[in-house]
Homo-oligomer: A and B are copies of this chain.
């Protein structure tokens, strides 16, 4: 049996086909490329029970990943992140079956590790020696560290306002790191020029085909962790949108394999009110988004004014009868604290936005009584220390704790 059942690359816009053995970036038509697998053959050869004794990493699904030889796998043990019931928070928002898929519990502390693990592994398999990318912080950190493990050099450009901790992660990996006095779109232009000037591999979001395959494993894991059943709703914080595209791709592949039955979960793209191009497009029933000028949000990872894969995100929403919803920063911070106080998890602002969205959609009746709802937390709260306001008394060594009546 082959390690991977990868077949070929194809363009979802113009339907061109490409060989998976060659290095590719975008389609000649400008669209991102997607990966196809020999699913009919795999359907006969692999069964869910075959996974039981495998490692609890994303590589347990190696047949559904594009790396053809196991020796090229670059792994830090990523995947099978916790799938946690949130009973007290669920009660607080009248959702009796609320779960969190916690992507903070993964190397580099965010879901970006999945894309980096698969993207870097495939880059290694293809013989790439140097890659470049713009980032809002977390993706750059993940790719820089995984590439270091692979022995691939990296050039990373991030906005000067990106979370400070992600700078440290890039720097300590030995990456060539640059800051830009602007947005991720400005970083992208600088990377584009460097790619042309120095013949680097462009690892920008969706400009290489394999990051989606890594993100896809979130969908595979949710299905497996639910016993190959599907929830009614999955909420995802949406910037570049690769996660939601990946989850949609995973679930359709599992349908083809016959591992899950029934309708797909309704996928919800959650955006920040200060950067909501997908929400606007969905409300206007469009198939592509427009550039969101002067975008701003504390949820830095979803500050993406125009995503290259916007049409794929919108397609996933329309095909699953999902929706898109924008959340203000103040509500995000309130919810972030509520999750910590009620459920003991310090999640990132992007993750907190999905819980606010669940709350709103339950209030409006879009989420119905008794439905099973999965919210994706995409990273650790500790990567964004400035979102927490701490006012704490300072004692001298001889002092005692004096409690008032209120405690």
Chain B contacts for A75, CB-based, 8 A: 84
Interchain CB contact (< 8 A) of A193 among B155, B393, B400: B400
Stretch at the interface among A29-37, A90-98, A99-107, A282-290: A99-107
Question: In the assembly, what is the distance between CA of A84 and CA of B172, in Å?
Answer: 19
Question: In the assembly, what is the distance between CA of A75 and CA of B85, in Å?
Answer: 9
Chain B contacts for A11, CB-based, 8 A: none
The verdict on A167 contacting chain B, using a C-beta distance below 8 Å, is yes
Of all chain B residues, the one with the shortest Cβ separation from A343 is B149
Chain B contacts for A173, CB-based, 8 A: 340-341, 344, 346
Contact A395 B157 (CB under 8 A): yes
Contact B346 A181 (CB under 8 A): no
Taking CB atoms and an 8 Å cut-off, the chain A residues in 142-169 that contact chain B are 145-151, 155, 157, 160, 164-165, 167-169
Question: In the assembly, what is the distance between CA of A160 and CA of B83, in Å?
Answer: 35
Of all chain B residues, the one with the shortest Cβ separation from A57 is B82
Interchain CB contact (< 8 A) of A181 among B146, B190, B397: B397
Contact A198 B403 (CB under 8 A): yes
Q: How far is the CB of A107 from chain B (nearest CB, A)?
A: 6
Contact A345 B107 (CB under 8 A): yes
Question: In the assembly, what is the distance between CA of A341 and CA of B198, in Å?
Answer: 22
Chain B contacts for A179, CB-based, 8 A: 392-395
Chain B contacts for A342, CB-based, 8 A: 148-149
Chain B contacts for A407, CB-based, 8 A: 176
Question: In the assembly, what is the distance between CA of A197 and CA of B399, in Å?
Answer: 13
Contact A76 B52 (CB under 8 A): no
Proximity string of chain A (380-407) to chain B, C-beta cutoff 8 Å, 1 when within and 0 when not? 1111010011101111110111010001
Contact A56 B76 (CB under 8 A): no
Of all chain B residues, the one with the shortest Cβ separation from A84 is B77
Q: How far is the CB of A316 from chain B (nearest CB, A)?
A: 26
The verdict on A241 contacting chain B, using a C-beta distance below 8 Å, is no
The verdict on A80 contacting chain B, using a C-beta distance below 8 Å, is yes
The verdict on A318 contacting chain B, using a C-beta distance below 8 Å, is no
Question: In the assembly, what is the distance between CA of A343 and CA of B397, in Å?
Answer: 42
Question: In the assembly, what is the distance between CA of A330 and CA of B197, in Å?
Answer: 39
Of all chain B residues, the one with the shortest Cβ separation from A142 is B344
Chain B contacts for A176, CB-based, 8 A: 401, 407
Chain B contacts for A390, CB-based, 8 A: 167-168, 171, 177
The verdict on A108 contacting chain B, using a C-beta distance below 8 Å, is yes
Question: In the assembly, what is the distance between CA of A30 and CA of B164, in Å?
Answer: 45
The verdict on A189 contacting chain B, using a C-beta distance below 8 Å, is yes
Question: In the assembly, what is the distance between CA of A80 and CA of B53, in Å?
Answer: 14
Contact A178 B81 (CB under 8 A): no
Chain B contacts for A396, CB-based, 8 A: 180-182
Interchain CB contact (< 8 A) of A388 among B109, B172, B186: B172
Of all chain B residues, the one with the shortest Cβ separation from A182 is B397
Q: How far is the CB of A116 from chain B (nearest CB, A)?
A: 9
Q: How far is the CB of A55 from chain B (nearest CB, A)?
A: 9
The verdict on A194 contacting chain B, using a C-beta distance below 8 Å, is yes
Which A residues have a C-beta under 8 Å from some C-beta of B? Answer: 52-53, 56-57, 74-78, 80-84, 88, 102, 104-109, 145-151, 155, 157, 160, 164-165, 167-169, 171-174, 176-182, 186, 189-190, 193-194, 197-198, 336-337, 340-346, 380-383, 385, 388-390, 392-397, 399-401, 403, 407
6 contacting pairs across A/B (C-beta < 8 A) = A76-B345, A145-B346, A171-B390, A178-B394, A180-B395, A180-B399
A-B pairs, 6 with minimum CB distance: A77-B82, A149-B344, A56-B56, A186-B397, A168-B388, A172-B340
What 7 new A-B contacts, CB under 8 Å, besides A88-B151, A149-B342, A172-B388?
A76-B82, A167-B392, A172-B340, A180-B396, A182-B396, A194-B400, A198-B403
